């Protein structure tokens, strides 16, 4: 499918669906040099978001525009050039006789943070988590909160670079978070309000950490607990009982309890813990595979039988 902007006249070929949220859908698109150039003349690959809610879409555009200004300023002030714009295009398009609004943002090829850590191993989470926290801090310092932080909205590239996708939950600080996912919501766990502040995203990051490193434990707790009985203590107990999560327990405690003064403080503490783990050579405990346990049990049985047979042969 092809789509052309009404005002800026840029042409996009829609490749596939990337995600669907409460206030819109995000597609992977290729920007083309001309409307009839379906196979060549590709300018680049981006993420394009369409929303029926013009107010929500404009709020996201404003936030991305603020981040884009900061990116350009930092690029001018430093030798390091970041050529990946946050905001590429904002326009309308006529699709099937209906005028829709959309914006285009940068896209980082990769996979979900869950799939990346599953492939690379939990020892990589310290690095990836630090980069994600830096992204969140950058959003916070411009007066926004990401809001709908979850595994599906965090992409990790092959080189370990981290990108946030779907800014539909972006909320100005002090306002009520407009879009969230229950499992990652501190209100769901009776651990605080839904007012947008640094702590809201940090709590969601803690839940993300439990989800990525803790396996099925979190969802099992959610199924068993009655809504009125959910509390932060359940999460802290889950962290303390898990050998991998326990490595990050001090940080997770502050995030769940909401005692970080800012995301900047949270970034410093996370990086301190990650560096300490790296220097100490600590590696997350990996449970003994089930097949190895069976192999050991069978070996013991066979050894016992051989001893009995050997003893009886001399009688």
How many of the other CB atoms lie within 10 Å of CB of 10?
Answer: 18
Catalytic residue among 56, 148, 185, 198: 148
Do the beta carbons of residue 156 and residue 113 sit within 8 Å?
yes
Task: Check whether residue 166 and residue 95 sit in a common domain.
Answer: no
- Structure-token pair, residue 66: 């603020």
Count of structural domains, the chain: 2
Region for residue 258 given its phi and psi (left: phi exceeds 0; alpha: psi -120 to 50; beta: otherwise): left
CATH number of the domain to which 196 belongs: 1.10.510.10
Domain-embedded: residue 193: yes
Q: How far apart are CA 211 and CA 213, in angstroms?
A: 6
Domain-embedded: residue 153: yes
Domain boundary among 76, 106, 136: 106
Domain-embedded: residue 2: no
Domain boundaries, position 51: 7-106
Task: Check whether residue 238 and residue 101 sit in a common domain.
Answer: no
Task: Check whether residue 130 and residue 253 sit in a common domain.
Answer: yes
Task: Check whether residue 83 and residue 232 sit in a common domain.
Answer: no
Predicted pLDDT of residue 42: 79
Predicted pLDDT of residue 76: 65
Task: Check whether residue 74 and residue 151 sit in a common domain.
Answer: no
Predicted pLDDT of residue 208: 97
Domain-embedded: residue 298: no
pLDDT along the chain (315 residues), means of 10: 94 91 87 68 88 84 82 63 78 92 90 94 95 95 93 91 87 93 94 97 98 83 71 92 95 98 98 91 50 59 63 58
Residue among 27, 24, 86 nearest 55 (CA)? 24
Task: Check whether residue 153 and residue 87 sit in a common domain.
Answer: no
Task: Check whether residue 69 and residue 208 sit in a common domain.
Answer: no
Active site residue 201: no
Task: Check whether residue 41 and residue 130 sit in a common domain.
Answer: no
Domain-embedded: residue 210: yes
CA-CA-CA-CA torsion sign (281, 284, 285, 286): negative
Q: How far apart are CA 123 and CA 253, in angstroms?
A: 20
Please name the residues in contact with 278: beta carbons below 8 A apart, sequence gap of 6 or more.
Answer: 126
Domain boundary among 88, 106, 124: 106
Domain boundary among 106, 136, 164: 106
Task: Check whether residue 31 and residue 142 sit in a common domain.
Answer: no
- pLDDT tens digit sequence for 47-104: 999 988 888 888 889 888 877 887 777 666 555 555 678 899 999 999 999 999 999 9
Domain-embedded: residue 207: yes
CATH number of the domain to which 17 belongs: 3.30.200.20
Predicted pLDDT of residue 82: 58
Task: Check whether residue 84 and residue 181 sit in a common domain.
Answer: no
Task: Check whether residue 73 and residue 155 sit in a common domain.
Answer: no
Task: Check whether residue 100 and residue 115 sit in a common domain.
Answer: no
Predicted pLDDT of residue 285: 45
Domain-embedded: residue 288: no
Domain-embedded: residue 196: yes
Predicted pLDDT of residue 33: 80
Residue 49 marked in a binding site: yes
């Amino acid at each position: 499918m092809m789509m052309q902007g009404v005002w800026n006249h840029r042409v996009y070929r829609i490749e596939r669906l990337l995600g669907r949220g409460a206030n819109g859908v995000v597609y992977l698109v290729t920007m083309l040099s001309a409307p009839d150039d379906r196979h060549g003349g590709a300018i680049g690959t981006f993420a394009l978001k369409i929303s029926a809610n013009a107010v929500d879409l404009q709020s996201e555009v404003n936030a991305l525009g603020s981040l884009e200004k900061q990116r350009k300023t930092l690029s001018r002030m430093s030798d390091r050039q970041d050529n990946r714009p946050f905001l590429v295009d904002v326009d309308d398009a006529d699709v099937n006789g209906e005028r829709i609004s959309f914006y285009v943002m940068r896209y980082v090829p990769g996979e979900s943070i869950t799939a990346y850590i599953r492939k690379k191993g939990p020892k990589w989470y310290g690095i990836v988590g630090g980069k994600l926290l830096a992204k969140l801090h950058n959003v916070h310092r411009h007066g926004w909160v990401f809001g709908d932080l979850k595994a599906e909205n965090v992409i990790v590239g092959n080189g370990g670079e981290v990108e946030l996708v779907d800014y539909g939950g972006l909320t100005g600080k002090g306002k009520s978070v407009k879009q969230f996912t229950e499992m990652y919501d501190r209100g769901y766990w009776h651990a605080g309000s839904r007012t947008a502040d640094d702590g809201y995203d940090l709590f969601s990051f803690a839940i993300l950490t439990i989800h990525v490193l803790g396996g099925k434990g979190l969802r099992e707790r959610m199924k068993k607990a009655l809504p009125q009985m959910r509390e932060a203590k359940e999460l802290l107990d889950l962290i303390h009982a898990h050998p991998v999560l326990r490595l990050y327990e001090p940080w997770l405690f502050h995030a769940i309890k909401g005692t970080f003064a800012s995301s900047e403080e949270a970034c410093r503490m996370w990086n301190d813990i990650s560096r300490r783990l790296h220097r100490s050579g600590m590696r997350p405990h990996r449970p003994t595979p089930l097949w190895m346990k069976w192999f050991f049990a069978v070996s013991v049985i066979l050894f016992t039988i051989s001893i009995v047979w050997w003893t009886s042969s001399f009688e």
